[in-house]
Every structure is written in structure tokens, then in C-alpha cells.
Amino acid sequence: MRKMTLYAQHTNKLFWSRYLYKFTVRLPQISFLRYGKNKVFESLFKCETYEQWQSVQLKDVYRYRYMLNPDAAGKERLELWNKRFQLFKFVNFINKHKINGVDLRVRYESDTASVCTNNKDLFDEGVALLTGDVIELVWPKSDKHSEFLVNNPHYEIVEKYPYNKFMYKVELKGYQRIDRAIIHNIDQWFKNYSSLQITKDALEQLKEGFMANGKFIYSTNEKDMLLLQMLLGNLIKRIVTYKLESEIENAN
């Protein structure tokens, strides 16, 4: 079983442009819950012994079959069995709050599930219920931070501006083909605007006509950023405005 490391920090931007709180748990195969009910998890919760569970035949369920395949890693199957009660707790926890109409969102990825919400009681309950399997905690630093982020969902709180000067980050859409007319002489275009900064890697991808994921451009002012918007158009995913933490804390 892999060693659990807890990562904790204060919320500096809303999750999904909406939520203040997030906790993440690591449990084997938990991402399969995104598909709703499935025979593997149903049998996992119903069987009384590991041997009984191993004997269940799920040949008709293609994407889950490796969990019970005798050729699969026995260590992984045993880990899933040993964590069945925690998985059951998680399922009941999510279902209970969804039935009660509590606003939450779950993101599943491999062996992790992240729960995002604005309900502090739900956050506290989930962390307490799944103690030992929680690997990430994110919560607001203060009421001032919470109020600011809720009222400004596209802002990000920072201790200082990137490179001590950039107030905006223009995030670019990933996996996009780029019109050659847009990128004609793009090197010179950026050289004309010292207020904008793009990484060498992102610039090379623009010139090649295909943008990968996670690329962005910094800007010091709105005027030149508007010119950038005119140039790139639909290639822009979102614009993040940075807000200094000191300004929030010192506000009346």
C-alpha cells in the first residue's frame, strides 16, 4: 500500500469557478464510481469473504473484469478488498448529501476523488469520516478571502504578482489547431509589447500551429491584453486576474 502524504493549503481561487472547499481522498479504483452502479462494487459490498468475492464471475462487464481476473495483480485486488468499507462510507456520504440537495461536485481520477463544496459542515464531515485516506485539504484562509472569491469568481489571490508585475494570466485552450494567419510574424508581435510575456515553449507551439494544454500568457495591463484577445480570439480559454492578499486583508 502506497504511503499517504497530506497536502494542505488555503483556497486562492474557486474550484470550477464556484466552490471554496475541497478535499481529496485516495482509495483503490474509486474512479469507477463515476459510472454509477456496477457489478464489481456491488459484489465487493455484498460478499462476506475475500475468497467469495474472488469467485464472482463478471465476464459480461468488460471494463471491470481485470479487478477479478486471476492474472491481475493480487496485491491490487487485496488492497481494493481491504478498503471496501471506506469506499462504502464514501458512496453513502456522497449519496446522502446529493439526496438532501447539498451543492457539491466530485471529480474522479484513477485512485482519487476530489469533493468540492461551499458547505463547511459537509467539508468537515467528509474529512472526519475518511480520516486516513484524505490526501488533500483546501479551505479559505479567512471570511474576507471567502467573500472576495465568491464575489470575484475569476480572480486568484496571490502573495505577490508573478515576477512582481503581472496582474493577469491569459489561459489558452489546449489541443487546438491554429490559423496560420494568426501566427504570421508572431515573434515580432510579442517583441512589440513588453507588457506581455509568453514562455518559449508556448511561443514555439503557436508558431508550429498546434497548442498543447496548460499554456498561458502573462500581462501587466488590460489595454495590451485586449489586443491579445483580438489576435488570438477563440484560442483564449479564460482570463485570470490576480489580487494581492495584502489588499484583501487591509480592506475595510
Give me the mean pLDDT over the 206-211 stretch: 85
Residue 149, in any domain of the structure: no
pLDDT at site 59: 44
d(CA 65, CA 38): 11
Same domain, yes or no: 121 and 171: no
Predicted pLDDT at 60: 39
Question: 31 in a domain, yes or no?
Answer: yes
Query: Domain boundary at 142, 164, 179, which?
Result: 142
Residue 239: inside a domain, yes or no?
A: yes
Q: What is the pLDDT of residue 96?
A: 95
pLDDT of residue 37: 66
In this structure, of 63-77, 82-96, 124-138, the range with the lowest mean pLDDT score is 63-77
Q: What is the pLDDT of residue 62?
A: 43
pLDDT higher at 107 or 67: 107
- Residue 57, in any domain of the structure: yes
Residue 66 clears pLDDT 80, i.e. is over it: no
- The whole-chain average pLDDT of the chain stands at 88
Question: 90 with 161, same domain?
Answer: no
Do residues 158 and 244 share a domain? yes
Say yes or no to pLDDT of 168 above 70: yes
55 and 93 both lie in a single domain: yes
Asked if the model's pLDDT at residue 58 lies above 80, the reply is: no
- Specify which residues 169 forms β-bridges with: 218, 240
- The pLDDT of residue 46: 84
Residue bearing cell 481491504:
82
pLDDT in tens, 75-95: 777 888 899 999 999 999 999
Do 17 and 130 fall into the same domain?
A: yes
**Total number of domains constituting the chain:** 2
Q: Give the pLDDT band (50/70/90) at residue 61.
A: very low
Q: Which residue has the higher pLDDT, 154 or 58?
A: 154
Question: Which of 107, 142, 177 is the last residue before a domain boundary?
Answer: 142
What integer pLDDT is reported at residue 7 of this predicted model? 94
Both 77 and 131 in a single domain?
Answer: yes
The Cα angle at residue 72 between residues 3 and 82, in degrees rounded to 5: 45
The number of beta carbons lying within 10 Å of the beta carbon of residue 70 is 7
pTM of the model: 0.86
The three grid cell numbers given for residue 103, joined into one nine-digit string: 451543492
Q: Are residues 136 and 158 in the same domain?
A: no
**Residue 208 pLDDT:** 86
Same domain (yes/no): 19, 136: yes
What's the mean pLDDT in 185-201?
91
Residue 82 lies in a domain: yes
Is 118 in the same domain as 201?
no
Residue 10 grid cell: 488555503
Pair (35, 132) in one structural domain: yes
Domain boundary among 142, 175, 193: 142
> Is residue 32 assigned to a domain?
yes
C-alpha–C-alpha distance, residues 121 and 203, integer Å: 45
Identify whether the C-beta of residue 207 lies closer than 8 Å to the C-beta of residue 121.
Answer: no
Instruction: Let me know if residue 148 belongs to a domain.
Output: no
CA distance 161 to 79: 44
Does 118 lie in the same domain as 20? yes
Are 181 and 57 members of one domain? no
Q: HSE of 237 in the Cβ direction (CA atoms, 13 Å)?
A: 16
In a domain, 138, yes or no: yes
Structural domain harbouring 63: 7-142
Residue 64: pLDDT band with limits 50, 70, 90: low
